[in-house]
Structure 1
Amino acid sequence: MENYPAPAVEQPAPKKRTWLKPVIRLGIFGVIALIAFFVANPFTASSAEVGACLKGDVSNADSVEKSECGTPEANFKVVGKQDGKSEIGLKLSGGSECDDYPTTDAYFFQGKKGSSDGTLLCLEDLKNPGERAPVVGDCLPADVVEAKKLTKVDCANAAYKVLAIEKSTAILVDDSTVCTQVPSTDEKIAWQRSGAGGLPQSRVLCLDKLK
């Protein structure tokens, strides 16, 4: 009896992983796009820290870059930073979120349009700083109540001393609601800053009469 070899069984060819190529291409394109983004936009607001300095024009985001503080190129200093902000929210508020930082002159926002994951930087203008509100302990002249002249003077020759500062405009309507936490207050005056290039600020000064 003759033995015949068993018929050869064809092994199925290994399936080509055709899905790998588009995935690899997509990954490469993603890396290239990410690199291109950071090359084209070297500055990101989220990477800036309070105390850092910037150069450029804050109204032109592409011109803003980090700078060494104290150099002629440094135009702004970051005095406040807030995350989770939206562009429309800032337009509605006029940048009042930066009102917590007394030396704020301008702000810079960076984020996706329509989202609420942007970063807000509150900036102090190093070249042309705006008017500053008095601080607790400052002394003011005798005509400050009538003329609203907030020029600081030496306490030895002053008529008033700032005891406290409140963020409120209620004094314009009813001054009985302000400076209630400072019983020794003798006078209350409203201070407001506004003007080209400066963010509006409103304060109530609680004053002690020295003379």
Structure 2
Amino acid sequence: MTTASSSSRIPGCAGARIVAAGKEWDAVRTDRFLGLQAVDRLGAASGPVIVEPAAVYFLVPPGGTTAGDLTQSKGLGAGHYVVLPAADRTRPPGPYWLLPPDRPLATVDDVRRALEAAAALVLLDLDTIRHDIDHALCRRVELPRRSIIDAGTDALTHHLRRLMSYNYGPQNEGSTGVRMRTLCDVAERNLAAPVRPTPQTNHRVAYVYWNTLATLTAAFRDLYLAHRPTEPGQRT
């Protein structure tokens, strides 16, 4: 979220504040799917990262975003403002820190390379999405092996993030907007790191999580088919 003027507090986002870019840091804003893919590619080189429902922000050294265009992204330096979540906000709803603010800033060149690599991903494959949803939700006599659950969860996480990045229209108008906002909030909570299964997670709990992601992915897949958005973009 960016704005042309600052305010000390954000209604509904406890501890969040609007801060001017271009002083202690610049920010690179990109759509959520592309940004999360770039984070995966950056690995240990990732600096502080903020996630919103439709966007991801990378914090980089001040002045760094003036050097040139960034792939499918916007540099936010002097004259721009960014919403910083509370330091302990690490999950939705609202803006949160995917990677904490006390990390060293990422370099613009590293972010640029990661975004370029992420942008080279293949287009949405609806047949594969359907197959992975059906595989998770099919009736079973017994639980599948944990390796199957984990692989299916990884695939659906990728699909869900991709589908969430599309522009399905305003979320603040009428009952449809409310339902869309609720669906996004539920998906955000289930994709948050503290919720995702780990190798120590109970087998059945991991299976239920896999099914939950399949249900959410199916809901966003149906939205995609109904609206046919042309490309990912920030929702309003």
Band of TM-score, shorter chain: under 0.3
TM-score by length of 1: 0.26
TM-score by length of 2: 0.24
* Structure ranking higher on relative contact order (CA contacts 8 Å, 6+ apart): 2
| Structure with the higher fraction of residues in helix conformation | 2
The structure having more radius of gyration, on CA atoms, is 1
